């Protein structure tokens, strides 16, 4: 009896882990989905929780009934593998051969079956034959202790294999997310080649006199992804009432500068004004002025993010990301320097889609605050203690671990107030204090949480909905009514691993008939 119960435990453990091993990309995000699930449960009332649990239990019962025979067959397989490894059975060559034959037959019968209806008609005969063989083995091996010991060893071995597979899964997910598709490699090459065939007069945009007019609606977009930037611009202007009053300031790197300019020269967004700048032309942005630029160029930082010995830790894989070493990612902290004559600017990440007119944000009263943002109090992973090291006295003394975080990606900034409060100086001071990465480790959100502490004006949640790059269960109604949807996470819509049901929100703003996209084989 004890022996049978132990095999049941092992079978259940094996069954729970099998989807993880079979799907190495999507299961890398199970921890994020678990956090979301727990948060949903936390927000439900007791009555709803009870109703939800009843529904889940009922679903489990139906699933169990549908695959009862499959589970029984798999249990018998495990028992047979345990028996065949025991000394008393090994000494009986006839029974050993018989069990090996039964294992082979039963494995073929089960195949890829997930429910009883998937099983062949011969499965019941194989089951009976296996039970008879196991009964013979039971008569020879009556020492339950040996069986339990062997089961325990198998369980530990399975758990070790699970850890190895989980680490590989995480690595593959990170690699897939950071590997640019072939078409997106082709696109900037194709555009750059054509850009340098133009004469100097053809390389300029129109309406450059609008670039510093504070009465207009100005957007800041920092990106090295041409297609993503095009979607942000296209989706934004498709909803504005007066396109001629809107100005997009796009900053990219030297490698993509010519290509980005060529794209918007050839795909002019109507009356909207476009500016494309090369970050390397910002001569004021140097290591003498910017602590983060000095740190990003240091050998210790590069060692921290990229040295091979760091890959031994699964948790460190998320740090091994080129975006953390890109100054484009930190440029959002220098908006007043980039736009010295503007009073307000709307910052947009390149993985967002705009679904409504955003013009009202410029007239919003931020009540003396610098940053208008959607708070993420409902999402526990965006509270301060998720990103900052509260075991450090500098952090614990100055900040609240349970403070509500907020979302980067769609932010209205009051640049006049920014200058008055010297926010860039605050950012620099904390960056210097974090030179050894003891206060926080990665990304720009921790820097933002600290820099704009108590300087956030909360926006209505409908302005900005997050999670389309990792959460397959974002509320559909929230998506439909959102002004901006954000594909934050690894599952970007331009990648094959993007979540399919969210892809069309992004893809409908891509001009797949463009000659450049056709030449680079970029298709829906």
Instruction: Tell me the pLDDT band of 127, cut-offs 50, 70 and 90.
Output: confident
In terms of CATH architecture, what is 182-520? Alpha-Beta Complex (3.90)
460: which DSSP letter?
P
| Structure tokens belonging to residue 98 | 């018989």
pTM of the model: 0.69
- 3-state secondary structure (DSSP) of residue 492: coil
Is the pLDDT at 27 greater than 50, yes or no? no
Residues 6+ apart with CB under 8 A from 275: 205, 208, 211, 247, 248, 249, 250
* Long-range CB pairs of 100-109, under 8 A, 24+ apart, other chains included: 102/126, 102/129, 102/130, 102/133, 103/77, 105/129, 105/130, 106/73, 106/76, 106/77, 106/80, 106/130, 107/77, 109/73
CB of 346 within 8 A of CB of 358? yes
Is the pLDDT at 374 greater than 50, yes or no? yes
> Across residues 82-90, what is the average pLDDT?
79
Instruction: Tell me the pLDDT band of 304, cut-offs 50, 70 and 90.
Output: low
> Across residues 124-141, what is the average pLDDT?
83
Is the pLDDT at 353 greater than 90, yes or no? yes
Instruction: Tell me the pLDDT band of 254, cut-offs 50, 70 and 90.
Output: very high
- Does 151 or 39 have the greater pLDDT score? 151
- Which segment, 111-115, 155-159, 188-192, is predicted with the most confidence on average? 188-192
CB of 394 within 8 A of CB of 439? yes
Cα distance between residue 184 and residue 270, in whole Å? 25
- Does 84 or 315 have the greater pLDDT score? 84
Summarize pLDDT for 385-411 with one digit per residue, the tens: 888 999 999 999 999 999 999 999 999
Is the pLDDT at 282 greater than 60, yes or no? yes
Instruction: Tell me the pLDDT band of 344, cut-offs 50, 70 and 90.
Output: very high
CB of 177 within 8 A of CB of 169? no
Cα distance between residue 162 and residue 160, in whole Å? 5
The fraction of the chain above a pLDDT of 70, given in percent, is: 78
> Across residues 40-49, what is the average pLDDT?
43
**Residue 40: its pLDDT value, please?**
41
- 3-state secondary structure (DSSP) of residue 275: strand
Is the pLDDT at 168 greater than 80, yes or no? no
> Across residues 158-170, what is the average pLDDT?
74
9-13, 106-110, 188-192: segment of lowest average pLDDT:
9-13
Instruction: Tell me the pLDDT band of 307, cut-offs 50, 70 and 90.
Output: low
Cα distance between residue 402 and residue 399, in whole Å? 9
Domain(s) of CATH 3.90.550.10: residues in the chain:
182-520
Report the 10 Å Cβ neighbour count for 295.
19
Average predicted confidence (pLDDT) for the chain: 82
Is the pLDDT at 33 greater than 60, yes or no? no
Measure CA 443 to chain center: 13
CB of 484 within 8 A of CB of 468? no
Cα distance between residue 424 and residue 33, in whole Å? 35
CA dihedral 319, 322, 323, 327 (to 10 degrees): 120
- 3-state secondary structure (DSSP) of residue 279: helix
Cα distance between residue 337 and residue 331, in whole Å? 10
**Residue 58: its pLDDT value, please?**
47
- 3-state secondary structure (DSSP) of residue 407: coil
Cα distance between residue 494 and residue 31, in whole Å? 23
> Across residues 441-456, what is the average pLDDT?
91
Strand partners, 406: 375
Place of tokens 């060692």: 303
Summarize pLDDT for 179-236 with one digit per residue, the tens: 678 888 899 999 999 999 999 889 999 888 999 999 999 999 999 999 999 999 999 9
> Across residues 356-365, what is the average pLDDT?
96
**Residue 123: its pLDDT value, please?**
85
Shortest CA distance to 510 belongs to which of 253, 241, 261, 187? 187
**Residue 147: its pLDDT value, please?**
64
């Amino acid at each position: 009896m004890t022996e049978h119960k132990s095999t049941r435990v092992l079978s259940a453990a094996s069954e729970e882990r099998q989807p993880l091993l079979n799907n190495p990309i999507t299961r890398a995000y199970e921890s994020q989905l678990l956090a979301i699930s727990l948060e949903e449960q936390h927000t439900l009332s007791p009555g709803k929780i009870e109703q939800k649990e009843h529904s889940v239990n009922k679903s489990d019962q139906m699933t169990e009934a549908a695959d009862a025979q499959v589970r029984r067959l798999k249990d018998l397989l495990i028992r047979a593998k345990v028996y065949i490894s025991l000394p008393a059975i090994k000494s009986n060559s006839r029974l050993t051969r018989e069990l090996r034959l039964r294992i082979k037959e039963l494995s073929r019968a089960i195949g890829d079956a997930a429910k009883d209806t998937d099983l062949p008609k011969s499965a019941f005969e194989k089951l009976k034959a296996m039970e008879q063989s196991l009964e013979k083995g039971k008569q020879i091996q009556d020492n339950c202790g040996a069986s339990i010991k062997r089961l325990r060893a198998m369980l530990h071995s399975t758990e070790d294999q699970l850890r190895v597979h989980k680490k590989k899964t995480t690595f593959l997910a990170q690699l897939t997310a950071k590997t640019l598709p072939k078409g997106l490699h082709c696109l900037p090459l194709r555009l750059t080649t054509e850009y340098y065939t133009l004469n100097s007069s053809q390389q300029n945009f129109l309406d450059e006199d609008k670039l510093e007019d504070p009465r207009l609606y100005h957007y800041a977009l920092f990106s090295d992804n041409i297609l993503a930037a095009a979607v942000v611009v296209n989706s934004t202007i498709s909803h504005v009432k007066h396109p001629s009053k809107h100005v997009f300031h796009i900053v990219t790197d030297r490698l993509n500068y010519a290509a980005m300019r060529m794209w918007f020269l050839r795909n002019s967004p109507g009356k909207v004004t476009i500016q494309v700048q090369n970050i390397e032309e910002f001569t004021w942005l140097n290591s003498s002025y910017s602590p983060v630029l000095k740190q990003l160029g240091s050998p210790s930082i590069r060692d921290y993010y990229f040295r091979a010995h760091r890959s031994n830790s699964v948790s460190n894989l998320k740090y091994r990301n080129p975006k953390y070493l890109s100054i484009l990612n930190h440029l959002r902290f220098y908006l007043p320097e980039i736009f010295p004559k503007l009073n307000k600017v709307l910052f947009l990440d390149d993985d967002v889609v705009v679904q409504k007119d955003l013009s009202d944000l410029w007239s919003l009263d931020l009540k003396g605050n610098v940053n208008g943002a959607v708070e993420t109090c409902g999402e526990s992973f965006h509270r301060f203690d998720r990103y900052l090291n509260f075991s450090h006295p500098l952090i614990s003394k100055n900040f609240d671990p349970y403070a509500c975080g907020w979302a980067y990606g769609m932010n209205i900034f009051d640049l006049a107030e920014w200058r008055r409060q010297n926010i860039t100086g605050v950012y620099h001071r904390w960056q210097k204090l974090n030179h050894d990465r003891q206060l926080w480790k990665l990304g720009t959100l921790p820097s933002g949480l600290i820099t704009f502490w108590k300087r956030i004006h909360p926006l209505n949640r409908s302005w900005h909905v997050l999670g389309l790059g990792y959460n397959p269960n974002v509320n559909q109604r929230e998506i439909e009514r959102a002004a901006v949807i954000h594909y934050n996470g690894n599952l970007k819509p331009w990648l094959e691993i993007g979540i399919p049901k969210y892809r069309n929100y992004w893809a409908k703003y891509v001009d797949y008939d463009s000659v450049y996209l056709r030449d680079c084989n970029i298709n829906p």
